[in-house]
Structure 1
Amino acid sequence: MTIKLIATDLDGTFLRNDRTFDVARFNRLLDQMEDQDVKMVVATGNKVEQTLHYFKETPTNRLTYISSNGAMVSDTTGILYKRPVSKEQIKKVLDWNTQTRAKMENLIVLSGIKAAYVSNHATPEMIQAVEQFYPKVIQVEKFLEIEDDILVMELLWPENADIKYFVQVLRKKFGEELHTTGSGFGSVSILAANTNKETGLEALSRIWGIKPEEMVAFGDNSNDLEMLRYVGHPFVMPNAAEFMKERISQQAKADNENDGVLETIEMLLADQSQD
């Protein structure tokens, strides 16, 4: 098989549970990928600024980023593709949340290109929690007056909340108008319609002229499913939930704690070098 692009999710997939990875090993693989003309893509729900932090010891000009669950694609030259949520759609979600707030306490985070935004009513503890995932957090009086492209609306519930239930409720409410997915960290991500990691790969397919059957992808959670189903060579992590293994049969060579993505990439590149 011919591989021209490898994409990987981060949390629970490429990164260990302490959010580290074998930097030296990965950098050696990037050298091999460059020799074989294979593109490396990081596909994550994180903002690109947070993603860059993980790769501060890696030549970033060798990486392309599908960030905010597919709402933006970028590299060191700038933004290649973006798909923001409209103000009208933001208002609809805010109205829905206000009407149902009595039944479910949550925190709203609007993730934009410039920063992440939370309400002035957010407590210091809430902001501290959000800052773990967003490098720049700004409190605002009115969400609809933000001057930024909002890529993702995040609704964060307590850890014991039934996120799958909220995803189903929001999908029923907004149908095809918005894309709703669970993040796996007690939050629901709401994006523009037809926006996910697959659409980010589709954009790169158009830009680079790479076919889906020439792509490899790694993932562990429901927000990876569209991407995994799009590529010719999908790998689910052994540490993924059972429902993911039922949908994607091929597993990486090891789990995220044991560098399963790197292990599998080494195997794929070795096989390709012998063709």
Structure 2
Amino acid sequence: MTVKMIVTDMDGTFLNNDHSFNKNLFSYAFALMRARGIKFVLASGSSYPRLRRDFYEYKDHLTFISQNGSVTHIGNRLIDYIPLTPHDLNTLLFVLHRTSLTDHIDQLVVSGVHGSYVDASMSDQDFNRMKIFYEKITRVPSLLNVFQTFPDEIFTKITICFSHDLSLKDIHSKLDNHLPANLLMENSGYNCELIGNALATKRNAIQTLQTIYEINDPNDIVTFGDNENDLGMLAMTKNSFAMRNAADHIKLQAHNTTQLDNNDDGVLETIMNILDMKLPLQIAQ
């Protein structure tokens, strides 16, 4: 197998359930990847500041796809972004009100290239939980006026976390036929929907990186994911892996399934196998 780039989702995939990872094993695997010229890409629905925080030691040597493909960095260099407009936000808020979904929203986050923004009324508990995924968050008096309040921000994604009294089927049945064609909704887990420009997907961001890194064959790319927002990148290469802990319909869309789940270093174990390396005992334990 020729491998030129490895792309992994974060929560539920590379990270375990407490949002951490095996740093010793990653350090070893990452050194091997760099020695072989393999690009390692983190692809997440969460923000670049969060990814940079979690991988601070390696930040200058990683590629980051954040906000489900809306924003792409190579190291600390912004490569690409796909913006939303004030009309997009106002249309979405109108649709939520029209479908009575506003009564079932636990958290709403509007994100841009530089930071993320929430309503000032958000509780401290929810605010601290959101910082796990967004890191750089600002409370604002009104999200309706966020474009005017931060005129220099480039807004890119809206995250809506619904209460668990609604199923994903309920949410999609209400929203699917009401969103304008230029917007795309993808589930990222935790009963949260990420809504952005229809072109802002992980798969499209990977294709942009293919051009930059001169990777013509998508089968030279390995991808890992566990959720709906990973389906595009799982379908783009025969070397795709759904996590063992993923739902069955996600596994059906991938060409392979990891032997281990996200809590047992499933991604790193698979990478070591791909690199044809045995895990050193002092790291594997």
TM > 0.5 fold call: yes
Q: CA deviation at 1:124?
A: 3.7
> Secondary structure of 1:247's partner?
coil
- Distance in 2 (CA, whole Å) between partners of 1:222 and 1:62 is 28
Preserved CA contact (<8 Å) 2:96 2:102: no
In the alignment, does 2:142 pair up with 1:143?
A: no
Residue of structure 1 in register with 2:235 after alignment: 229
Aligned to 2:280: none
Equivalent residue, structure 1, for 2:270: 264
For structure 1, which runs of at least 5 residues remain unmatched after alignment?
Answer: none
242, 252, 261: which is aligned to 1:255? 261
Aligned residue in 2 for 1:213: 219
Q: Is the 8 Å Cα contact of residues 167 and 181 (structure 1) preserved in structure 2?
A: no
Contact 2:227 2:246 (C-alpha < 8 Å) held by counterparts: yes
Within-5 A mapping of 1:84-163: 84-101=83-100, 104-106=103-105, 107-140=107-140, 141=142, 142-145=145-148, 146-147=150-151, 148-163=153-168
Deviation at 1:206, TM superposition (A): 1.2
Amino acid corresponding to residue 134 of structure 2 in structure 1: Y
Q: Post-superposition, which runs of at least 4 consecutive aligned residues in structure 1 deviate over 6 A?
A: none
Deviation at 1:168, TM superposition (A): 4.2
Task: Verify the 8 A CA contact 2:183 2:198 in the aligned structure 1.
Answer: yes
One-letter amino acid of the counterpart of residue 86, structure 1: T
Shift of the 100–249 alpha-carbon distance from structure 1 to 2, 3 Å rule, reads: same
Aligned in 2, Cα 1:232/1:71: closer, same or farther, shift over 3 Å?
Answer: same
Deviations 1:188-229 (A, max 9, x none): 110111221101101101111113121000001111000111
Shift of 1:103: 6.5
Partner-residue secondary structure (3-state), 2:13: helix
Using the TM superposition, give the Cα deviation of residue 102 of structure 1 relative to its aligned residue in structure 2, in angstroms: 6.8
Indicate conservation of the 8 Å contact 2:82/2:199, yes or no.
no
Residue type at the aligned position of 2:54: Y
Q: What secondary structure sits across from 2:256 in the alignment?
A: coil
Which letter maps to 2:32? Q
In the TM superposition, what is the alpha-carbon distance from 1:235 to its structure 2 partner?
0.4
2:282 alignment counterpart: none
Give deviations 1:249-272, integer Å, cap 9, x for gaps: 41113111111111111111128x
- TM-score of the pair, normalised by structure 1: 0.91
Cα distance in 1 for residues equivalent to 2:24 and 2:136: 29
Confirm or deny: 8 A CA contact 1:30 1:62 kept in the other structure.
no
Q: Secondary structure at the match of 1:266?
A: helix
- The residue number in structure 2 matching 1:64 is 63
Q: How far apart are the structure 1 equivalents of 2:101 and 2:208?
A: 40
1:190 matched residue in structure 2:
195
Q: Is the 8 A contact 2:41 2:64 kept in 1?
A: yes
- AA in 2 matched with 1:150: F
Evaluate the alpha carbon distance shift between residue 103 and residue 127 of structure 1 in structure 2; reply closer, same or farther with a 3 A threshold.
closer
Contact between 1:70 and 1:195, CA under 8 Å: does it hold in 2? yes
Q: Please give the alpha-carbon distance, in whole angstroms, between the structure 2 residues aligned to 1:42 and 1:118.
A: 24
- What's the offset of the Cα at 1:36? 1.3
Offset at 1:2?
1.0
Partner SS for 2:174? helix
2:183 maps to 1:178: yes
Partner Cα distance (1:219, 1:102) in 2: 28
Q: Distance in 1 between matches of 2:146 and 2:76?
A: 30
Q: How many residues align?
A: 270
Aligned-CA RMSD value = 1.9
The change in CA–CA distance for 1:122 and 1:82 in structure 2 (over 3 A counts) is: same
Q: Indicate the SS of the match to 1:51.
A: helix
Corresponding residue number in structure 2 for 1:51? 51
Q: Secondary structure of 2:127's match?
A: helix
Q: What is the CA–CA distance in structure 2 between the aligned matches of 1:21 and 1:103, rounded to whole Å?
A: 35
State which drifts further: 155-164 or 119-128: 119-128
Deviations along 1:37-79, whole A, 9 cap, x unmatched? 11000011110111122213x4222210001111011022411
- Identity of matched residues, %: 29
Contact 1:182/1:222 (<8 A) preserved: yes
